[in-house]
Amino acid sequence: MTPPSASPPEQPSGIPERAVVLLVVGLVLLYALWTLRTPSPSSGVPDAVATAATGALSPERIPLVTGDEPIADIFTKAGCVVCHSIPGIPGANGQVGPPLLLGTTGQQRLQDPEYRGQAKTVHEYVVESVVEPRRFIVQGYPAETMPTWYGSKLSALALERIAAYLERQTEVR
Ligand code: HEC
């Protein structure tokens, strides 16, 4: 019953056309895969601030601090100001470590159940924090960041003056 079709049979040219489309799609996919392969620049970058701060503070670049300097120079020469804010010390507005307000925070540290150091007074706690910073890590701040070599850069007098100053600080300027 079907009348003989008047239209000519499908041209074989339809197949190569599809092949071209497939080829283009394939190339686009390959290109997309290639772009995904190249590592994204932001991957694996550690805490940039901490790295920059510690990198600038290799022990060779820190002079010996005798303790005869004005108090602000002690903190600046030693590089404390890079990482800490310290009331009354110009330029001491570092954000890597906690603000040094030991007049307020010192007792809290000594009473912290996590505290494993030897200090009995806030003064001793400051000295210990500078000479043996790994003894106690203040919560919320990065470990392994405060330099461990201050014992060889700060004289006993410098350490005493640092502790005497910091144990009295109770608020940010
Ligand atoms: C490279 C950064 C960096 C430098 C430089 C640095 N500190 Fe720190 N400091 C930290 C960090 C981070 C912490 C908190 C983590 C911890 O307890 O170790 C800290 C903790 C402390 C604490 C304990 C504070 C608290 O609230 O209990 C004291 C005190 C201290 N630093 C004093 C100093 C002094 C003084 C200097 C300079 C002689 C100095 N720091 C230099 C990073 C630094």
- 119 CB near ligand 1 (under 6 Å): no
pTM comes to: 0.76
Ligand 1 centroid from CA 84, angstroms: 7
Ligand 1 centroid from CA 43, angstroms: 28
Class at the top of the CATH hierarchy for domain 56-166: mainly alpha
Condensed to tens digits (0 to 9), the pLDDT of residues 23-77 reads 666 666 566 656 555 444 444 444 666 666 666 688 888 899 999 999 999 999 9
- 146 CB near ligand 1 (under 6 Å): yes
Pocket probe for ligand 1: among 116, 121, 125, 138, the residue whose CB has the most ligand atoms within 8 Å is 138
Condensed to tens digits (0 to 9), the pLDDT of residues 80-135 reads 999 999 999 999 999 999 999 999 999 999 999 999 999 999 999 999 999 999 99
Compute the distance between CA of residue 96 and CA of residue 140 in angstroms, rounded to an integer.
11
Query: Residue 25 is encoded by which pair of tokens?
Result: 């799609």
At 38, phi and psi to the nearest 5? -65, 130
- 85 CB near ligand 1 (under 6 Å): no
Angstrom CA distances, 87 to 41, 169, 171, stand at 38, 7, 7
Closest CA to 109 of 84, 139, 87, 133: 139
Compute the distance between CA of residue 25 and CA of residue 1 in angstroms, rounded to an integer.
43
- Kindly give the number of the ligand 1 atom that is closest to the alpha carbon of 145: 12
Compute the distance between CA of residue 141 and CA of residue 130 in angstroms, rounded to an integer.
15
Query: Residue 137 is encoded by which pair of tokens?
Result: 């890590």
Cβ neighbours around 21 below 10 Å, total: 10
